Amino acid sequence: MVDQGLLDKIKGPMDDPSSATLEDIGNILEFIKEISKENDDIKEELEDMDIVVQIVITDKEAKYWLKAQEGKVDAGEGDVDDPSFTFTARFEIGVGLLTGEIDSTSAYMAGDITVEGNLQDAMAFQELIELATEAYEDLTE
């Protein structure tokens, strides 16, 4: 079961991304890691996933990473070795993507994010975010 304290921490930014802080990005990634252990839809999505994401927040000079490999998710702050893709965005856009507030395809087409590397992996990452967002909504109804 996802820790209630973690759910409480991400409630503000998930409900209102404009209230988010840098710490919230780490908490949202931790939520994705935790929910991936118990949500059947996410487990199924992870079965064939082998991605390593580097997230770069340009205006806050912050970096995060997420790995979805061998049916498991891990995440953290800083640089990651050999990412399959890197997405770069301003803080507001990055939070919007992680909370499901902003559609990644629209943001990419508008030039609000840049993606370097495997675009298929970027689309798989977006699917993971969407499933995690749905799981969050189910847990907090």
Give the model confidence (pLDDT) of 58-70 as tens digits.
999 999 999 999 9
Percent of the chain residues topping a pLDDT of 90: 96
C-alpha 26/C-alpha 33 separation (Å) is 11
Sheet of strand 62-69, all strands in order from the earlier edge strand to the far edge: 72-77, 62-69, 51-57, 85-89, 113-117
Across 130-134, average pLDDT: 96
Checking if the pLDDT of 33 tops 90, the result is yes
Q: pLDDT band at residue 11, thresholds of 50, 70 and 90?
A: very high
Checking if the pLDDT of 1 tops 90, the result is no
Across 89-116, average pLDDT: 95
Rounded to two decimals, the pTM is 0.94
Domain 4-139 in this protein, CATH class: alpha beta
